[in-house]
Amino acid sequence: MSEGISQPDQPQTLKGESKDLFSKFDDMIALRESILSTGIEDPYNLVMEKVLSPTRAICNGRETILLGTYNYMGMTFDPDVIEAGKQALADYGSGTTGSRVLNGTYQGHKDVEEALKDFYGMDHAMVFSTGYQANLGIISTIAGKGDYVVLDIDSHASIWDGCAMGNAEVVPFKHNDIEALEKRLRRIPEDAGKLVILEGVYSMLGDVAPLKEMVAIAKKYGAMILVDEAHSMGFIGENGRGVVESTGVMDDVDFIIGTFSKSVGTVGGFCVSNHPKFDIMRLVCRPYVFTASLPPSVVATACTSIRKLMHGSEKRAHLWENSKNLHKGLKDLGFKLGTEEPQSAIIAVIMPDLQQGAAMWEALIKGGLYVNLARPPATPANMTLLRCSLCAEHSEDEVGKILAIFEQAGKAVGII
Ligand code: PMP
């Protein structure tokens, strides 16, 4: 049939010279296939078919206790938060369709920035579409070529990516090591621009930074200080302002980065600061300018949630109880944990290797418990972790059930 019909010219390729750009992932694909070929449930393909509450969902067809979300303060089902979102959806529509600097600033964006200023008692607040973008934007914009960024080696990916995008000289130091921080700072030229980046809580092991000592050292060397409080906002500190509050350094840090995707219970990111020139960021920070702003329903839920978190001391106390009980229970069962004492709402259970970690993860999910299976490169020192993150809405009874599921799974897999 096609005889006589001329074919369009085929693109010319020089055989043997082209490389499949996906070949760099071959090792990872092989490792993943070898684990899944054992018939194990895929830890990275979990589906929540129905969410029943901040602590329960139907996952892969089973009712499951959630111990691997960042819903620390359980705000996702707060009736006031949900009502605020519904009202904003009705009043403002489903999305802004634009950048904050063009048509994407609605009243709700201004309201949530006011709520953040009140929450932290700071002069300026700037809301981004995610916490990832907040780190990417602030770090890359303030620390450019010729400047130095001194950061903990275990910093979150968004911090590393912000450094790479800004082109500053990146100087990592050993995790939570006060002397290593000072040693690095001592070597940097005195007159250079310097930014020290720390996290309140490090999300893999759930350990807290020695902020008091580190902030004092950074100031001694004239560095500006940015603290990412993603995992401590809402929970740590008398008013939930984070480790900066609990260690008494609120007034000494230049920037606090945070997210709405954890204790606040929605999505978005922010930076608060007292720097008098901070507002210029709105014009020069590319991950703020060149992307659409958050939908009105999202900023409305965030605003209501943040204002309620200011009065969340009872929930904070209950979350501490949960953290202490789970930590003690797991330790008593014989599991190896990421910290000697509970330091946050994250408790990391250290697995001997990825295979046993995956087997343990599967035994837990089959027993009705979801935790995060964390592995390199996200984890420090090549560790495989079962990361448990608690919620203020977990009841004492649920913590007991969680421990019973861990005991059964740990014995079945041979880890305890
Ligand atoms: N910083 C830290 C320390 C984080 O753990 C995360 C997310 N896990 C982020 C920033 C990014 O937050 P978001 O989910 O809002 O992008």
Q: What is the DSSP string of 226-279?
A: EEE-TTTTTTSSTTS--HHHHTT-GGG-SEEEEESSSTT-S--EEEEE--TTGG
172 pLDDT higher than 60: yes
CATH 3.40.50.300 fits 78-309, yes or no: no
Cβ neighbours around 21 below 10 Å, total: 7
The ligand 1 atom at the shortest distance from the C-alpha of residue 199 is 3
CA of 66 to the centre of ligand 1 (A): 19
Which of the following CATH numbers is that of domain 36-73+313-413: 3.40.50.720, 3.90.1150.10, 3.40.50.2000, 3.40.1350.10?
3.90.1150.10
pLDDT of residue 7: 59
- CB 130 near ligand 1, within 6 Å: yes
The pLDDT of 280-309, averaged and rounded, is: 98
Interhelix angle 396-413/354-366, nearest 10 degrees: 130
Tokens linked to 265 = 């219970």
pLDDT of residue 377: 85
- CB 269 near ligand 1, within 6 Å: yes
Chain CA centroid to CA 218, Å = 24
Tokens linked to 151 = 């950061």
In this prediction, residue 35 has a pLDDT band, given cuts at 50, 70 and 90, of confident
Round the average pLDDT of the chain to a whole number and report it: 95
16 pLDDT higher than 70: no
The ligand 1 atom at the shortest distance from the C-alpha of residue 259 is 15
Pairing status of strand 372-374 against strand 369-370 = unpaired
CA of 137 to the centre of ligand 1 (A): 13
- CB 131 near ligand 1, within 6 Å: yes
CA of 131 to the centre of ligand 1 (A): 5
Q: Is the ipTM of this complex over 0.95?
A: yes
Chain CA centroid to CA 163, Å = 17
Number of H helices, E strands in the chain: 14, 16
pLDDT of residue 5: 52
Q: Where are the alpha helices (DSSP H) in 71-190?
A: 79-92, 107-120, 131-142, 157-166, 178-187
76 pLDDT higher than 90: yes
The pLDDT of 319-341, averaged and rounded, is: 98
CA of 38 to the centre of ligand 1 (A): 32
- CB 155 near ligand 1, within 6 Å: no
Q: How many CA atoms lie within 13 A of 277 on its CB side?
A: 3
How does pLDDT run across 344-373, given as a tens digit for each residue?
999 999 999 998 999 999 999 999 999 999
Where along the chain do its domains lie? 36-73+313-413, 78-309
- CB 228 near ligand 1, within 6 Å: yes
Residues in the chain: 416
Tokens linked to 206 = 């759930």
Please check whether residue 272 is in contact with residue 255, taking contact to mean a CB–CB distance below 8 angstroms.
Answer: yes
Mutate to test the pocket of ligand 1, among 152, 156, 236 (most ligand atoms within 8 A of CB): 156
Pairing status of strand 269-273 against strand 255-259 = antiparallel
Q: How far apart are CA 253 and CA 387, in angstroms?
A: 29
Return the bridge partners of 351, or none.
Answer: 384
Q: What percent of the chain has pLDDT over 70?
A: 96
* The 224-228 sheet, strands edge to edge: 124-128, 269-273, 255-259, 224-228, 194-199, 148-152, 169-173
pLDDT of residue 231: 98
- CB 266 near ligand 1, within 6 Å: no
Q: How far apart are CA 268 and CA 48, in angstroms?
A: 21
The pLDDT of 271-278, averaged and rounded, is: 98
Residues 6+ apart with CB under 8 A from 38: none
CA of 411 to the centre of ligand 1 (A): 34
CA of 331 to the centre of ligand 1 (A): 28
